[in-house]
Structure 1
Amino acid sequence: MKWSLVKAAQLPAEWAALHARCQASPMLAVEFVQPLITEFGTGRQYLASCAHDGRTVAMALVEARGRGSWALFQPAQAPIGLWLQESGLALEPLLASLVAALPGPALLFGLTQCDPDLLPRPAEGGKLRTLSYIDTAKITLAGSFENYWNGRGKNLRANLKKQRARLDKEGVALRLQVSHLPGEVAAAVADYGRLESAGWKAGGGTAVAADNAQGRYYQAMLEGFCRRGAGSIYRYWFGEQLVAMDLCIEDAAQIIVLKTSYDESVPGNLSPTLLMREQACRQLFDEGRFARLEFYGKVMEWHTRWTDEVRTLYHVNYYRWPVLARLHARWQSRTLKAHHVP
């Protein structure tokens, strides 16, 4: 196996071809990854391609992280690492040949935010170490919504029923709107930005807005997915008031919630996001188009009320020599102990 590196600017056609051969996550599709490079690339990222027997078997977006250290390009908008490999290939030989090909020489390569459902967590030893990252949740969309909903906690079901009854008594109509057309994306992202910009994220400068890099990214990405019928934007309304939104992408097996926001001016005894989620889940179960609903964010308390299907995303560190792995492990252990001294 031989790796080559070129500056990352425009993804080649081979990325899409490898993605199709791998039947990889939509979060590794060209429509998702190219706007990441465009909006968040710094010019220091490389496209790494691995050839074997005359064909490309793996590709990744990589960058230097410091003296002798390299890792995947991992912008905050990417829930999983930007790494593609053909199924059936062992991970460790790919990492070994990549580390040997990186300039420097590279002493360490970090393969970040791996999903065990997509890339099984490898055994540790020698030059390879793994580190748990976050727990994430999914909902298997099998059977009827009624069976799924009856399996949820009594308090959740009763609370949302009570909220719907209150809103109905007050004459507030509840409406779920789902947009799929590329021409509808710009307005939807602007709506999403207004929700986020009115909330706590505005103070930290992390809110999506139509005129910032985040807004441009989500608009370009969602337009790309919607052009091929694989994007969904959920809006939830209390009468004429937009109160919650989900930005989603999908493939034949799954729908992935990438971003969620809600109107923080809604009274605290109402949960617009959960009301939206209930109606959206009912629709997804009834349609039967997908096998699962994925969240990919860090598991929060509300996730555990909706599902008990939780798994742990992880990082991989691959070291040029086994002694570096041992030394790094000792340093991490000492650092951890130091931070826990009473």
Structure 2
Amino acid sequence: MSNQRPGSISEFFHTKDRKNANYLKINQQDGICDACKQNEIKNKINWKEREKKLIKLLAKHRKKNGEYDCLVPGSGGKDSAYQAHILKYKYKMNPLIVTWPPILYTDYGLNNYNNWINIGGFDALVVRPNGKVMKELTKLSITNLLHPFQTFILGQKNIAPKIASKFGINLVFYGENEAEYGNPIAENNSSLRKKSYFAVKNYNKIFLAGLKISDLIKKNKLKYSDLKIFLPISDKEINKKKIEIHYLGYYLKWIPQEAFYYAVKNTGFSPRPFRTQGTFSKYNSIDDKIDDLHYYTTFIKFGIGRATYDASQEIRNKHLTREEGKNLVKKYDGEFPDRYFSEIMKFLDLREETFFKICDKFRSPHLWKKEKNIWRLRHNVNNDGTDD
């Protein structure tokens, strides 16, 4: 994973995570991304022992009165479908599903969600934010950050502990360890995440859509009550309610392709009926029409597109060779996702030419060079950039 991806190479380990680092004798300046380090760690872990820890944790929280004893956030993708199903049917928990829905559901994404609930067999709660505010914040996120997915990501992450608090649920499960996709090991490798970005002490220090909360209220005529649903639970409340936040991928060996097969078999999950633009796969992050555009913006900002993310993960899990991955990146990375583009721009009241001007503004000169009126990367994994 390129070091142009924010957080792809961590600068330090938390003290409690150093024992994990000992698997690799890691030098933090060795140029190896955390996703690869995590992959090596994953293959050295005694997963039977980890499962014993999971069983102990579940026994601590399991309720015998029919109430929900854990909460699983998700919008119907393969990973959340897998984690909810295995918790309920293998480990005999009673999970509540909570969904912060995609900004613009795809037909097949919505069908997967309905199959997850109906075929998988779960109680579910959908939390729909104020549509007018959601649209405005998404538009501002594009204008200020070139980040069309920020509002969805924040909602998806932040809503689960809040709902757990409302329902008296003390155990929240997210899915795969996010270092699987390149996030820092230090943020993700611990089993217990009572704090971190799931809770906050000072709301005045939070930025949303690239602006301070106070500026959104003053300049954009939004109310604090409009924004609160997007913000994390307070540090005080999460500690008072003794809510524990865990990654199931810490306890069970997580391979995205295997999660896909499991979801297909047990919850009626189906891949896209066509290849996802910008990559070679059909089953990753297919719920939201804006998903494809989000990955295109990462290509603009960081020089790495969706094919890079997918190929890197498949190489680490030995489903592709590096040469195969490089060829796929060359063929698909940066492909413009035009399938839903006009619909998205119309929904957001954003002119298409304005979007492209914003993209050009976010092209870092150390990554991009314009030749004959065409933008090209200076460097890429195939070593055929303008400066390679």
TM above 0.5, one fold? no
TM range (shorter): under 0.3
**Bigger relative contact order (CA 8 A; separation at least 6):** 1
TM-score, normalised with respect to structure 1: 0.27
Greater per-residue strand proportion: 1
TM-score, normalised with respect to structure 2: 0.25
Greater per-residue helix proportion: 2
Larger radius of gyration: 1
